[in-house]
Amino acid sequence: MDLLHRAPAPLRRAAVPVVTRFRPSPRPTVRALAIGPDGRVVRHLVRHRAPYRMVTSACVLGGLLILGSLLERGIAVCALPPRDATAPAHPQPAG
């Protein structure tokens, strides 16, 4: 890949379809962090291969964590991770 940066423009253009075909796509992941006043992570939620992605907002309601996204057509609801947990909780799409 680094060699292509120095290659002539026609060669770079010809290489684009080949390179994009083999480029790995990002792994679908949901992640939410609660940061305490001292800057430490208080709660941590992470879910790989989640059907819900691009979380842009989070709200706590009772013992639930409600996640919003600009990309998805609904919300995700999951159990609020314990305060000291490092193990991920698993969100379930709702709506």
pLDDT for the residue 74: 93
- In the structure encoding, which two tokens stand for residue 7, read together? 């290659």
pLDDT at residue 24, rounded to an integer? 76
- Predicted confidence at residue 90, as pLDDT, reads 52
Count of structural domains within the chain: 1
Q: What is the pLDDT of residues 40-73, one digit of tens each?
A: 888 888 888 888 888 899 999 998 999 999 888 9
21 in any annotated domain: no
Asked whether residue 67 is domain-assigned, the answer is yes
Which domain, by its residues, includes 58? Answer: 27-94
Residues 52 and 66 sit within 8 Å (Cβ to Cβ): no
Among 24-28, 29-33, 83-87, 90-94, the range with the most confident prediction by mean pLDDT is: 29-33
- Please indicate whether residue 94 or residue 19 has the higher confidence score (pLDDT): 19
Q: What is the value of pTM for the model shown?
A: 0.57
The whole-angstrom separation of Cα 74 and Cα 14 is 40
Q: Does residue 69 lie within any of the structural domains?
A: yes
